[in-house]
Copies of this chain bind each other. A is one copy, B any other.
Amino acid sequence: MDIDANTLSELLKKHGIKPSQQRLQILSFIISNPCHPTIDQIHSGLHHALPTLSRTTIYNAVRIFVEAGLVQEVTIENNEVRYDARTERHGHFKCKKCGKIYDFNICMENIPAEGLSDFQIDTKNVYFTGICKDCLKNTSQEYRNK
């Protein structure tokens, strides 16, 4: 389940990021948990490995990862930023009932954007909201947001 630490270390060095224990663990966690974890989920997920890990360190680490293009910020809904190590472009779907986030493949290049000629486009984000297959099956159920 774990990613080779040396490989990750080299990856960080290649981007001019010093591979500290904390950074290696944080990046490894994001890669091996492709559920788009929040800062808080990273924090509690690494608690047994690094009991003194501070939230500030996680904020710092993900910021430099994002700047280096190793990790993507995913803002599906306001008030929860999530992180995603998939660098290939893909879309996100958030179910309004169960709150689960699904990835889906999408060919961004095919999106026809009128009026952006002469613009330098760095990132493209697509997110949908609605109700997922599983929740649709159980339609008679009570509404449990989030």
Question: Which A residues form the contact surface with B (CB < 8 A)?
Answer: 73, 75, 77-78, 81, 91, 93, 96, 102-107, 110-116, 118-133, 136
The one of B107, B116, B128 in contact with A112, judged by C-beta atoms closer than 8 angstroms, is B107
DSSP class of A's interface residues: helix, strand, loop or mixed?
strand
Closest to A126 in B: B126
Question: Quick check: A120 and B136 within 8 Å, CB to CB?
Answer: yes
Question: Quick check: B121 and A128 within 8 Å, CB to CB?
Answer: yes
Question: Quick check: B130 and A122 within 8 Å, CB to CB?
Answer: yes
Known contacts A110-B112, A118-B133, A121-B130; 7 additional CB pairs below 8 A are A93-B116, A93-B121, A102-B119, A111-B111, A113-B128, A120-B130, A123-B130
| Given A81-B78, A110-B110, A125-B126: A115 touches B119 (CB 8 Å cut-off) | no
| Given A96-B122, A136-B120: A115 touches B129 (CB 8 Å cut-off) | no
Cα–Cα, bound, A93→B133 (Å): 31
| Given A124-B128, A125-B127: A114 touches B119 (CB 8 Å cut-off) | no
